[in-house]
Structures are given as C-alpha cells and as structure tokens.
Structure 1
Amino acid sequence: MASVIHRGIHRHVIKYLAGTVVVTLGVLGFPAPVSARPRSLHPGDYAKLVERLQERLRELKFSPGLVNGYYGAETQAAVWAFQKSQGLVAQDKVGAETWRALADPRQVTPLVPEGRPQRVEIDLSRQLLTVYRRDRPLLISHVSTGSGPYFCQYGYSSSTLTPAGDFRVAKRARHSTVDPMVTMDEALSFERDPAIDFTSGLRGGLMGVGTDLAGRRPGEPLIPAPSQRPTSGCVRIPAHVAEWLFRMVVVGEPVYVRSGP
C-alpha cells in the first residue's frame, strides 16, 4: 500500500516539475513544449488562450484590436485575414489547422514584388490587403471588395466593382452617419494615376466580384474601352484597421490591385 502511495506522489511531483519547466521556458522567451493541443476558440469566447491568440496575430502583423482575451468582431476579422493568407478557409473559429499555421506560418507572397517599397497591395481573389513599408509587410487585413451600386457610398469609386490595376491612395472619406452597422467598416478609396499606362497594371483583365464591364465572367481577360475604364475604386476595411492604416499610408501612395499571385 505504501509503495502505491509513493508512486502516486512521484507522479504528481514529476507533473509539477514538468509544468514548472514549461512555465519557466515560456517566461524566458523560449518556445515551451505543449503537452496538449490548444482547444478550439469561437467568437464570444473570453479566455487567456484568446489573449495568446491576439498576441500572436499582432506579432504576425494582423490587427486583432485590443489584446484583452475577448474574441470579438475585431479578432474575428484578423483570424479571417490570417486564415486566408495561409490558404485556409476563412471560418468563425480557430481550430487545430489554424493553430498549426500560427505556430509555423507561411511568409506573405508579394503580388507586385517589383512595386514601390512603400505600397498597398489588394488581392481580389482572397480579399486581402497588405501594407508594405520598405518592402516588408507591416499590416495585413481582411477586406470586402465591390459587388453592388452602393458599395462605396462612403468612399470614392467610378465602378460598382473593385477594379484591378495600378492606383493611388485617395483622400480618406469619413462616414456621415452614426449607424453602428455602417461604422463597423470604412472605405479605402484609390484613384488611377493618369501617368500610369492602364494596360501595364492590368495583368489578367479587369476583375471583381460578379461580372466585369463587358459582362464576362471573372478571370476572362478584358481591355476595356477608354470610356469604360474605371478611374477609381475602393475596398471596405474593418474600422479598427482603418485607424491604423490611415496613420501609415499617405494620399498618392501606390495601390496595386490584382486578382491573386
């Protein structure tokens, strides 16, 4: 009987010491071994694990909002952006596949590697926006692209679709309403630089959600007539991301809009 008790005590001591090592390694900044797979997280969760998620997303240049342990809309937008950047399906949870990607993420592939060092890239196919400073991604965000006539009612756009091409950041358009459903997003507007040849930045035609100006399906090349060429466009971005983004970019900065790598 005494030997059984001793074995039980030994097991508890070993577990305690192992836990101490794990905690100590984490405090010292070394990657600590994980004894169990992190549980899945969902919108509405409030936990220390959510705080770890938020810290990791921020470290990887995604904006989860406040690091407060609450899985709200701002954290969800950052999770979507991260999942899409890794080739995963954007979903309302952080499961095993997303945790693995967070532990060993793939590097962001530039859409226009020869572009200006200070630039904004918009991937229409994945609905992702990346802000580059000195050719390094400093902010990655989920965006919504144009698909209807009222898409840019709080921005500037000459098309109901978000057009592909080379543009410049336009002046920030402020909301004229206090409707909370509207103010959850802001518009990043951009306009075409007349000095840039339209066809040089087209790469695969005018692309967007739905059909293009000629009624063709997305992905089919098109060189529109001059009267049809959109001179401006926009994407919607989460409001909390907008506050960060508009501190980073300036009016006239290059915006490269593509349909994917």
Structure 2
Amino acid sequence: MKGDDVLRIQQRLKDLKFDPGVVDGIYGGDTLMAVWAFQALVLKMSRDTLVDFVTPVLWDSMRGNVVITPRRESDTPNHVEVYLPEQVMIVVKEKDIVLISHISSGTGQEWCEEVIVDPGEEGNKGADVIKDGICGQAITPGGIYYFYNRKVGQRESKLGTMWNPVYFNYGVAIHGAMTVPKEPASHGCVRIPIFISEYFPAMVEYGDRVYVFDGVKTPEENGSQPPPWDKKDPNYTTTTSSTTTIPKTTTTVPKVITTVPKVTTPVTTTVAPPSVTSTVVPG
C-alpha cells in the first residue's frame, strides 16, 4: 500500500514522536510497528485487538488532540520508560518525549539452547567467542535501572543476537532486532526495530534512568531486581570455543539503585478506541 494517504499517516505519526521510518508514502513494516505503538499507548488497545492498517476511525483518532506524557519525573536529564503490557518504549529528554517505539520483550517462558557468546558479554570474560548449552527464563524484570554499557554493531550473547545494544540490567539490553512482533518474543531483552537502533544509543547516556513497568507493580516497588540467572543445560554435551581472537571488552556490572525518583501521574488521553470494521487506509 502506498500513496498520499500513507504519507499523511507517516507524517502524523512522526509529529507525535512515533517513528514510522522513512516518510516515503509506502506502508511497510516500520510504519506498521509505529501504528501498533499508537494503538497500544494512546488507545489502550490490547495486543489481540491491534489492527495492521489505519482504518478511518483510527485515522480520526490520530488527527485528534493526542496528549502523551511520561509516567515518571526522573532525577536524570534523560530517561527511558518501557511499558511491558503495551510493548512500547518512550525516550524522554528533559521533560519532552522525543521518541516512541514499539518493542518486544521477554516471553516469560523457559528455554534451553546452544548459544554463542561474544567476548565481553555476560558469561564470557575471555578473549574468544564461546559456544555453550544454556537454560534460562525469558523474563524482562520490572524495576528502576540505569544505562551502564553499550556495544556497537552486531553482538552475540546468551540472550540472542543484538544490534547496537545498550545495557541496563546485567545482560539485559535495549537493542535492535530483525524481528519485533506485536507480542513478547525475546529471551529477556527489549527489542526495538533495527532502524531505530541505529540512532537510539546516541539519545541516551550512561547513568540515564530506565523505568520498566511490568503492569503488576510499580518500578519503585520492584526496585532493581536482576533477571533470572541462567544455568548450564544438563543435556548439552559438546562445548566448543572458536579460534578467532577478539579484543577483550570490559563490562561494568550495574550497582543497585538506592534513590527513588519522584512519581507523577500520567495524563490520559480522551481519544476513544476505534472499532475495527475496515482495513481501508483513509483519505
């Protein structure tokens, strides 16, 4: 689908800080993820009711008086808020939202896999890439954290393949991924679209707060809980190391946060959810 109608949709999303990718009039995957994020965050629609196209009613909602505010007032100039129930992330500079992105977080399921771990990643303090059998639980913990490390380019870790990861809870990072579906799909990290991961790391600094809302407790109630610890797969029998030597990267383990920032009450939008009766992009 393409044309002037799509151009208007993309520009409106961009104006609201939902990044639809290149504003080119083509309704592709990047624009689709921005549409998901709008429905989930603004219209409070559940994942099973999200639509993949902009209906006339949804377009009316986008053109309405949309007000989105951060849920927290941080004690750092910049901060990130991750909303697990909505599968949405916002980036705040000072008090202004500068980016809203669709995400995909941990599935909550247990897993056992053969993993490749690059030097400097959690579980590999050596200079060589390692391969091992690992079992874990795919949980993205709620709580208050801060960014403390980052890597450039593609990285392999126990939690999977990552692009431009920025770490905030041991091996858990916000990173680009090839697949960012509307439902949780990761081993615990916060996946964002690849094109957003190209510039997201430059938007945050070490020490910036990360608030993860799990929909059960507030980040303050959860504190700074670590992710579930993984363990070796007892059924894995062949562990090998690569022969390629890679310079060692130092990873700093985050300290526990002892200060609790001010809690603010978010402003709710008065836009009503659209009825899903059409898949025609509005004019």
Q: Do both share a fold (TM > 0.5)?
A: yes
What is the deviation of 1:117?
3.8
Alignment size in residue pairs: 174
Structure of larger gyration radius: 1
Counterpart-to-counterpart distance in 2, 1:153 and 1:125: 30
Pairing partner for 1:64 from 17, 20, 24:
20
Per-residue CA deviation, residues 132-183 of structure 1 (Å, 9 max, x unaligned), is 0011111001100112548998986996210000111243343258xxxx78
**If the length of structure 2 is used for normalisation, what is the TM-score?**
0.53
Alignment of 1:29-44 (within 5 A): none
Alignment of 1:26-175 (within 5 A): 45-86=1-42, 87-88=44-45, 89-113=49-73, 116-147=76-107, 148=109, 149=111, 160-173=138-151, 174-175=153-154
The one-letter code matched in structure 1 to 2:149 is: K
What is the deviation of 1:250?
1.7
The one-letter code matched in structure 1 to 2:167 is: S
Report what 1:189 is aligned to: 167
The one-letter code matched in structure 2 to 1:259 is: D
1:103–1:256: structure 2 CA closer, same or farther, 3 Å change rule? same
Counterpart-to-counterpart distance in 2, 1:241 and 1:132: 15
Q: Verify the 8 A CA contact 1:124 1:145 in the aligned structure 2.
A: yes
Alignment of 1:211-230 (within 5 A): none
Deviates more, 1:131-140 or 1:156-165: 156-165
Q: Higher strand fraction: Structure 1 or Structure 2?
A: 2
1:117–1:79: structure 2 CA closer, same or farther, 3 Å change rule? same
Q: Verify the 8 A CA contact 1:143 1:238 in the aligned structure 2.
A: yes
Counterpart-to-counterpart distance in 2, 1:84 and 1:172: 28
Deviates more, 1:141-150 or 1:98-107: 141-150
Pairing partner for 2:203 from 215, 237, 248:
248
Q: Verify the 8 A CA contact 1:165 1:257 in the aligned structure 2.
A: yes
- Structure 1 segments unaligned to the other structure (5+ residues): 1-44, 193-208, 211-232
1:98–1:150: structure 2 CA closer, same or farther, 3 Å change rule? farther
Counterpart-to-counterpart distance in 1, 2:41 and 2:15: 15
Query: Which structure has more RCO (C-alpha within 8 Å, separation ≥ 6)?
Result: 2
Q: Verify the 8 A CA contact 2:76 2:208 in the aligned structure 1.
A: no
1:186–1:96: structure 2 CA closer, same or farther, 3 Å change rule? farther
What is the deviation of 1:105?
4.2
**If the length of structure 1 is used for normalisation, what is the TM-score?**
0.58
1:65–1:257: structure 2 CA closer, same or farther, 3 Å change rule? same
The one-letter code matched in structure 2 to 1:238 is: P
What is the deviation of 1:116?
3.5
What is the deviation of 1:110?
2.3
1:144–1:170: structure 2 CA closer, same or farther, 3 Å change rule? farther
Q: Verify the 8 A CA contact 1:129 1:142 in the aligned structure 2.
A: yes
Counterpart-to-counterpart distance in 2, 1:78 and 1:49: 16
What is the deviation of 1:234?
2.5
Per-residue CA deviation, residues 108-147 of structure 1 (Å, 9 max, x unaligned), is 2422235544100001111110000011111001100112
Q: Higher helix fraction: Structure 1 or Structure 2?
A: 1
Counterpart-to-counterpart distance in 2, 1:105 and 1:240: 28
Identity over the aligned pairs, expressed in percent? 33
